[in-house]
Amino acid sequence: MSVLSYQPILMVEDSPEDCHAMMRAFQKAGLLNPIIRCEDGDEAIEYLFCRGRYAPPAEAPIPGIILLDLNLPGTDGHEVLTTLKSNGRLKKIPVIVLTTSCEKNDIDRCYQAGASSYICKPVDLSGLMNAIQRLKEYWFEIAVIPKGE
């Protein structure tokens, strides 16, 4: 069983509709991990660095994996990715960019910054469910990742 089987998933997603669809896809895929949602990049950075309302570290358990949208209000996904990958405590956390942008520049930039995977967000629910099922199979059943701090 994967190390990720019990760790929380941090979902950084501003769209309530996309969040709801992903939660349905997680359920259908049988992912039972706790889901922590940050609605924008600023909140994600607060969470990951235990600041603001997440100041007591017990309020912000280190996620096993991060699903990151790029198009966020305030601090965008690129900046979130760069910030967390430059931190020794956080840089080993797998970051899966799950976004509507399929632009070569965004893809290149994310991999250069340390993204573990890049998924162009499917536009229909069945495509999203398929993508989440495959994400579960790879990251939660096959991949071996470093244990959290």
pTM of the predicted protein model: 0.92
Tell me what pLDDT residue 123 has: 87
Backbone angles phi, psi at 123, to 5 degrees: -85, -20
Give the chain's radius of gyration (CA, Å).
14
Backbone angles phi, psi at 63, to 5 degrees: -70, 155
Torsion angle of the four alpha carbons 147, 52, 69, 81, in this order, in degrees rounded to the nearest 10: -60
- The CATH superfamily of 3-142 is Response regulator (3.40.50.2300)
Tally the C-alpha atoms within 13 A of residue 90's C-alpha that lie toward its C-beta. Answer: 24
Alpha carbon 75 to chain centroid distance?
15
Distance (Å, whole) CA 83 – CA 46: 11
Tell me what pLDDT residue 148 has: 57
What ranges do the domains of the chain cover? 3-142
Tell me what pLDDT residue 112 has: 98
Tens-binned pLDDT, residue by residue, of the chain (149 aa): 455 567 899 999 999 999 999 999 999 999 989 999 999 999 999 999 999 999 887 778 899 999 999 999 999 999 999 999 999 999 999 999 999 999 999 999 999 999 999 999 998 999 999 999 999 999 998 998 877 55
